[in-house]
Structure 1
Amino acid sequence: MKSSGQDAWWRKHRLQAQLDGLLAAWRFLTVVPLPGSRGTLPGDLAASLPYFPLVGLTVGLLLAVAAGPLLLVCPTPLAAVLFTALLAALSGALHLDGLADTADGFASARGREQVLAIMRDSRIGAMGVVALVLVLAFKAAALASLSAERLPAALLLAPLAGRTAILIHLALLPYVRASGLASIFLAGPRRSAAGMGLVLLGLTALLAGWAALTALIAWGLALVLFGLVCRRRIGGITGDTLGAVCELAETAVLCGMALEP
C-alpha cells in the first residue's frame, strides 16, 4: 500500500504535469509569451491536448471583452477586420499556414504522395493564397454583419470551436505522416480531450442562446465534409489539415452566427 507521503508526492507530480500541459497548450496555440520554461518539453505537448479548448475559450473571452470598447470607437466593418486580424495574430497565423498548404496540395491534380510533398513545401501557391483570402473575407464579412449584442458571443465561440475541431479530427482520423510536429499529439489523450472539448463547446453555446444553433450545425457540417475530403485525398490527417480544420471551423461558426435571424 502507498503511504500518505507517496500519495502526496503522486498528487503533486500529477498536478505539475497538468500545469505543464496547460502551459504547453498556451505556448503552442498562441504567441502570447509566458515567463519561465515550463511546458516546453515534447511530453508536455502531448499532454496539452485536454487544454486546447480552454485556450480557445480564453482567446475568445479576451476578444469578446474587447468587443464593447472597440465598437465604441470603431464602425462595425472596421472592428470586424480588426477582430479577424487579431484571431490570426494571436495564433501567429499557425492555422492559416496549414490552411494554405492544405489548399495547395488538395487542389492539385496529383496522387497522394505528391499531394503530401506539396503540403510539406513551405512556399505558398496560388490556391493557398485564394484559400487565405476567402477564409479571411468570410470571417470579416460574418463579423461585420453581426449586431453589437451578438458579436461577443460569436467571438467567444469561434476560437473554442476551432480548437475542438482539431481534437475531433485527431481522435477520429488516422495520421498519415511518419513524422512531423503533429505526430507528438498521437501519444496524448485524443479521445478524452475531444470529449471534453465537445462538453465545453456545448456549455458555451448554451450561453450564446439560440443564435449558436445554426453555428453548431455549420460547424458540424464543416468538420464532416472536410474530414471526408481528407480521407479521399490523403487517407487521413496531417498537421496542415489540422490547422485547416481549425480555420474552417471558426469560419463556419461565424457564418452560422451571421445567418441566424
Structure 2
Amino acid sequence: MGPLLDAWRLAVGTLTAVPVSPPRTVDGRTAGRAMLLAPLAAVPLGALVAATGLVGRELGLTALLTAVLAVAALVAGSRAFHLDGLADTADGLTSSYDRRRSLEVMRSGTSGPAGVAAVVLVLGTQVAALAAVLRTDRGWAVAGVLVCLSRCALALGCTRGVPGARADGLGSTYVGSVRPLATLALQLAAAALAYAVAGPAGVVAVLAATAVVVLLLRRAVMRLGGVTGDILGASVELALATLLVVASA
C-alpha cells in the first residue's frame, strides 16, 4: 500500500493544486505508477470544469463565457503547470535546429513569441471547442471526463522506449517509467470511458488525441533526442484541445 500511496501523492501533488503530503519515495517505479494514476488524480480538475459548466448553464450564462470561466478554473487548479511546458516546448522547437540550444531555451523558463502564441492559440482552441461541447445536453459532464482523459498523454510520453532528452530535469525521473502494456491498457480504458459518455465520437476523440501526442513525441525525439518535462506538459494541453475539438464536432 505504501508504494501505491506514494504514487498517488506524487500524481496529485504534481498535477493539481490539491494539497497532499509529499511521497516518502520518488523513484522510477513510483513515477510510472503516478503517470498511470494521472487521469484519476485529475478528477478534482474534471469535477471543477463540470461544475463550472453546470452552474453556468443554470445561471443562464452564455456557453462562451462559461467555457472561459471553466478553462480559467482548470488553469488555476493545475497551477498552469502544463501551460508552462507548452510555452517552453514551442520556444525550444522554434528557436534553433541545434539540439543543445533548443534545450537551453526550454530550460530558461522565459516565454518568447512562439511560446506566447502557442499558449494563446491552444487556450483559444480549448475555450471555443469547450463552448460548443457545453451547448449539448450533457456537455458539462463530457467536458469533465475529457479533462481527466487528457492526462493519459502523460503515460504515452513516459512509455518505455521513448527516450529522454537529458539525464537531469523534472522529466528525467519519469522517462521510460511506464510499461507499454500498461499504456495500452490505459488507452483502452480511456476509449471505453469516452464511448460511455460521448458515444463513438468519444472514441474518435481519444484516437485523435493519441495521434497528436504521438506526433509531438516523435518530433521531440527527432529534434531534441527525447522528451522532457516540458514536452509532457505540452502533450496534456494538446491532448485536451484535440479531445474537445473532436467532441465538439
User: Is 1:52 aligned to 2:38, yes or no?
Assistant: yes
Instruction: Work out the CA distance in 2 between the residues paired with 1:216 and 1:103.
Output: 23
* Structure 2 residues not aligned, in runs of 5+: none
Q: Percent identity?
A: 34
The correspondence of residues 183-198 of structure 1 with structure 2, limited to 5 A, is 183-186=172-175, 188-191=177-180, 193-198=182-187
Is 1:207–2:213 an aligned residue pair?
no
Q: Does 2:3 align with 1:17?
A: yes
Give the whole-Å Cα distance in 2 for the aligned partners of 1:16 and 1:225. Answer: 36
Tell me the number of residue pairs that the alignment of Structure 1 and Structure 2 aligns.
Answer: 243
Deviation at 1:203, TM superposition (A): 2.5
1:52-71 paired onto structure 2 within 5 Å: 52-71=38-57
What TM-score does the superposition give when structure 1 sets the normalisation length? 0.85
1:215 positional shift: 1.5
Of the structure 1 ranges 191-200 and 77-86, higher mean CA displacement relative to structure 2 is found in 191-200
Please tell me whether the aligned partners of residues 97 and 223 of structure 2 are also in contact (alpha carbons under 8 angstroms): no
In the superposition, the TM-score normalised over structure 2's length comes to: 0.88
1:87 aligned partner: 74
| Per-residue deviation, 1:41 | 4.1
Residue in structure 2 matching 1:127, options 91, 101, 114: 114
| Cα-to-partner distance string for 1:203-261 (whole Å, 9 max, x where unaligned) | 211212133133123212212321222122112211111101111001000011111xx
Matched, 1:246 2:230: no
8 Å CA contact 1:154, 1:253 repeated in 2: no
Q: What CA distance in whole angstroms lies between the structure 1 residues aligned with 2:119 and 2:186?
A: 26
Give the SS at the match of 2:203.
helix
The question of whether the paired residues in 2 share the 8 Å contact of 1:160 and 1:201 is answered with no
Give the direction of change, closer, same or farther, for the CA distance of 1:210–1:46 in structure 2 (3 Å limit).
closer
Counterparts of 1:68-79 in structure 2, within 5 Å, are 68-73=54-59, 74-79=61-66
Q: Does 1:27 align with 2:16?
A: no
For the residue of structure 2 that corresponds to 1:149, the secondary structure is coil
| Partner SS state of residue 101, structure 2 | helix
Contact 1:168 1:194 in 2 (8 A): yes
In the alignment, structure 1 residue 155 sits paired with structure 2 residue 143: yes
Q: How many angstroms apart in 1 are the aligned matches of 2:85 and 2:73?
A: 18
RMSD: 2.1
User: How far apart are 1:22 and its partner, in Å?
Assistant: 0.9
How big is each residue's C-alpha offset from its partner over 1:78-129, in whole Å with a ceiling of 9 and x where there is no partner?
A: 1000111122111100100000000001012331111111111111111100
- Give, in whole Å, the separation in 1 of the partners of 2:188 and 2:88: 31
1:98 corresponds to which residue? 85
- Which range is displaced more, 172-181 or 188-197? 188-197
